[in-house]
Amino acid sequence: MNRRNLLVMAGALGLVPAAALGQGSDAATLARDAYLFSLPWIEMATTRARVFKRGARPNAIYHRRNLSDHTDRSVTTPNNDTLYSLAWIDLTKGPVTLTIPPSGKRYVSAAILNMFTDNDAVLGTRVNGGAGGVFTVVGPGQSAAGDNVVRVLTPHAWILIRTLVDGPDDLAAARKVQSGFKVSGPKVERPPAYLERDAEPEAYFANARALLAADPPRAEDAAFIQRSAGLLTEGPFDRAAMAAGVAQARAIAKLASGRVAFVNGWSYPKPNLGYHGTDYGYRAIVALQGLGALPVAEAMYMKAAGDNNSGLFNGDGLYRLTLPARLPLDGFWSLSMYEATPDGQYFFADNPIDRFAIGDRTPGLKRNADGSLDLWISRTDPGGERSANWLPAPKAGPFSMTLRTYLPRAELLDGRFRFDPIVQVPA
C-alpha cells in the first residue's frame, strides 16, 4: 500500500480535512473504522494492565517520585516537567473520593478520563486555584450529595495527576505536595487482562466487545456501532475483509501525525483535543500517540514538522529553535525530545547529560541580548555557549519533538500567536 493511498484513507478518517470516520460501507472499510473507533478502549486497558502488573490496585493512588526519563516506557510521549501520580478507579461498587492538596502557586492538575479517553474533568490550578479540595467521583447512574461531585461517563476511569517540578532543587518540595493527593474507594478486584492492539483481528475485536460492554460508549455512538455488525456487536463477518480493514487501520495509525496540518513548522492541536465527540479518527491517533492528553485550555501540545513535514527528524546536523522573550501563557513551557518507535509511539532517549526536555525551568539557559532564546538540537554537543541550551537528540534513528505550553492565553489558543519553525543550520 503506497503513501498516497494511505493519505487518501487518512483523509477519509478526518485526520486531514476531508470526510468524517464512517463514510464507507464495504466490509473492509467497516473493519478499518471499527478498529480505530475501539482503539482508545484497548490502549486504556493496556496501560492499566501495565500499572497493575507492577503491583498497583484499583481505587488506590500510585505516585511516581521521579520525573520520567528514558527508562519509562509505559505511556507514550511522557513529559519531563511534572511528577505523575495515577489511579485506575472502579466505580461499579460506589463512588471514589479524590483529595487534592493545597498547592499555592505550584501548577497541579488531576485529569479524570473515561475509558474512551475523554477528559470528564480536569481539577487543579486552572479550575480550582491552589486551594485544593475533596471531590466525590461517581459513575453512570450514581448519585452523591455535596458540591464537589464529579461525574464520569464510564464505570471505570483513569485519574492522571501532574505536579510541577520547578527545577532540580525543587524535587523534594514537589514530592511533598504530590503526597497530598489521595484516592479512596470500595475494595474491588483487578480487571482481567486484555490483548493489545497488535492482536490478531478476531481476537482484537473480541477484546473490544468485552471492553465496550464493561464501559459502554455514549448514546451518540450507537448508530456507528450498529453499522459495524459482527465486529463491535458480535455476529458473522468476512475474515478476509476483517484482516484487510485492520491492516489499513494500523497503517493509517502508523502514518498519521494525529494533527490536521503543520503551520509554519508546527502542528497545533484541534480544539476538541481531550473532548473528542464523534471525531473517532482523531481520538484514535491521540490514544496511540498521546494517551492522557489534556484539553487545550489546560495545555497545548505542538509537534514539530520535522524533515519534509513528516513529523520526524532524521538529520545528524544541527537544528535551532528561536523563542521570543515572552510567551503567551500563564503556566510553563518545555520542548521534549523523543525517539520514534516502529509502532508509532514516542519515548525519551538516553543521552550523555540526562536532559530529556528543555524549558523555562532549565538552569543555566543563555538568552540573547533582546531576551529571546535559541535552543540547539543535535545528536552531539554543539559546543561553546550553545551547550547550555542544548537538547540532545538520540544517537541514531528518527526523532520527534513536542513543545508544551501550560495554561495558554487566548492569543495562543485562537492562533494569533504562532511559533517559529525548527530550522537546520550550519554546525
Cα 89 to Cα 285: distance, rounded to the nearest angstrom: 24
Could you tell me if 378 and 269 lie in one domain? yes
In a domain? residue 93: yes
Average pLDDT taken over every residue of the chain: 92
Report pLDDT for 260.
53
In a domain? residue 293: yes
Could you tell me if 331 and 216 lie in one domain? no
Could you tell me if 164 and 310 lie in one domain? no
In a domain? residue 360: yes
Could you tell me if 142 and 66 lie in one domain? yes
Could you tell me if 96 and 152 lie in one domain? yes
Which domain-ending residue is among 142, 159, 184?
184
In a domain? residue 369: yes
Could you tell me if 110 and 85 lie in one domain? yes
Q: Which helix (H) or strand (E) holds 302?
A: strand 299-304
Cα 27 to Cα 330: distance, rounded to the nearest angstrom: 49
Could you tell me if 266 and 249 lie in one domain? no
Tally of domains within the chain = 3
Report pLDDT for 14.
45
Cα 143 to Cα 136: distance, rounded to the nearest angstrom: 10
DSSP state, 115? T
Report pLDDT for 2.
42
Split at pLDDT 50, 70, 90, the class of 412 is: very high
Could you tell me if 406 and 268 lie in one domain? yes
Q: In this structure, what C-alpha cell is assigned to residue 329?
A: 501563557
Check if the beta carbon of residue 348 is closer than 8 Å to that of residue 80.
yes
Could you tell me if 230 and 356 lie in one domain? no
Structural domain for 168, as ranges: 58-184
Could you tell me if 320 and 346 lie in one domain? yes
Domain harbouring 96, CATH code: 2.60.40.1610
In a domain? residue 7: no
Which domain-ending residue is among 163, 184, 205?
184
For residues 9-34, average pLDDT: 61
In a domain? residue 2: no
In a domain? residue 12: no
- pTM > 0.85: yes or no: yes
Domain harbouring 411, CATH code: 2.60.120.600
* Whether pLDDT at 323 is above 90: yes
In a domain? residue 236: yes
Could you tell me if 377 and 275 lie in one domain? yes
Could you tell me if 292 and 372 lie in one domain? yes
Q: How many CA atoms lie within 13 A of 330 on its CB side?
A: 13
pLDDT tens-digit profile of 176-202? 999 999 999 999 999 999 999 999 999
Distance set, CA 379 to CA 68, 318, 390 (Å): 20, 8, 10
* Whether pLDDT at 220 is above 80: yes
Report pLDDT for 4.
40
